[in-house]
Structure 1
Amino acid sequence: MPHQLDDTDRELLRLLQSNARYTATELADRIGVSDNTVHNRMARLEDAGVITGYKATVDPGEAGLDLFFHFICTTRISNRADVAEQIMTFPEVLEVTELMTGQENLHIKMVGATDRDVTDMAERLDELPLEINDETLIRTNHTKPIDFTSVPGTDRDDE
């Protein structure tokens, strides 16, 4: 059963997604609660599996990996999870999405520094039990954190 979030939890999650380096004092000031409340809430959200970790966000382009590739592949449904796990071991892989479809059921996002990298990646993927249906150079990828203060369904405790 999903963990029930209240307004303090939702605001804490929103703030941590925008900057996981906030101190407990900064978070407490922004939310309007005590440092101790922030520590307790974070521990409870971690224990419940809502917060699964803290990480730095890196711009691959600024690190010399200017090319983003999207591969759309098909693998047998019975192999999908194992193949996805194998692909996640490739150092260039950012993300593997498993879809609940028979065709084009693996979407892979990878980064590279040169045009040759896409060929090398495609050849390595081709060694796996899958078919590459499409490979695309991504121009821009836009992401944002979830705004738990506004998303419907995150206020189960208010029902």
Structure 2
Amino acid sequence: MAALDTVDTAILRELTQDGRIAVRALAERLNISRANAYNRLERLKKTGVITGFTAVIDPARAGLSTSAYVTLNVRQNSWRDLTEHLRSIPEVRHMALVGGEFDVMLLVRTTDNEHLRRVVLEQLQSIPGVLATRTLLIFDDIGNGG
């Protein structure tokens, strides 16, 4: 685990707000030299703190007007095989192994309710090891996108 100081934390905060910020602008905002900003960025990438850069998409404007959290109860020890199946479903935007009353939580984004129904009933429930699903429709997405 990389030890992060206040400058590293500030760099991460700025990148979270604008992943396309130029090194020069980043350095100016943090009152550090461009060389320092560049070296820190490279170190954060090399140590795996920064794993990549991506665009934040507005799902509704991208044609994905229906979103839901889908929880799965799965057969014990099926997580490794299950993740391969889940990664092959493009509508699954995020997956997490969790503790509690269910085992897996998925963020699913689709074009409409019928599309969501097909993903849940035809794709997710047919995966070996999936014992049960529960779908929680998202009415208003206030998060960071994705």
Pair 1:77-2:76 in alignment: yes
Alignment gaps of 5+ in structure 2:
none
> Aligned residues: percent identity?
26
Matched length: 142
Stretch moving more, 47-56 or 133-142: 133-142
- In the TM superposition, residue 77 of structure 1 has moved relative to its aligned partner by 2.4
| Aligned 8 A contact 1:71 1:132 in 2 | no
Q: Distance in 1 between matches of 2:132 and 2:59?
A: 24
| Secondary structure class of the residue paired with 2:19 | coil
Mapped pair 1:140 → 2:143: no
Ranges of 4+ aligned residues in structure 1 off by more than 4 Å: none
Question: Taking structure 1 as the reference length, what is the TM-score of the superposition?
Answer: 0.83
Partners of 1:46 and 1:58 in 2: how far apart? Answer: 23
- Equivalent residues of 1:92, 1:112 under 8 A apart: yes
Residues 81, 98 of structure 1: 8 Å contact kept: no
Partner residue, 1:63: 62
Provide TM-score, normalisation by structure 2. 0.90
Gap runs ≥5 in structure 1: 145-159
Deviates more, 1:56-65 or 1:80-89: 80-89
Q: Which residue of 2 aligns with 1:104?
A: 102
The Cα shift of 1:113 comes to: 1.1
Q: CA RMSD in A?
A: 1.4
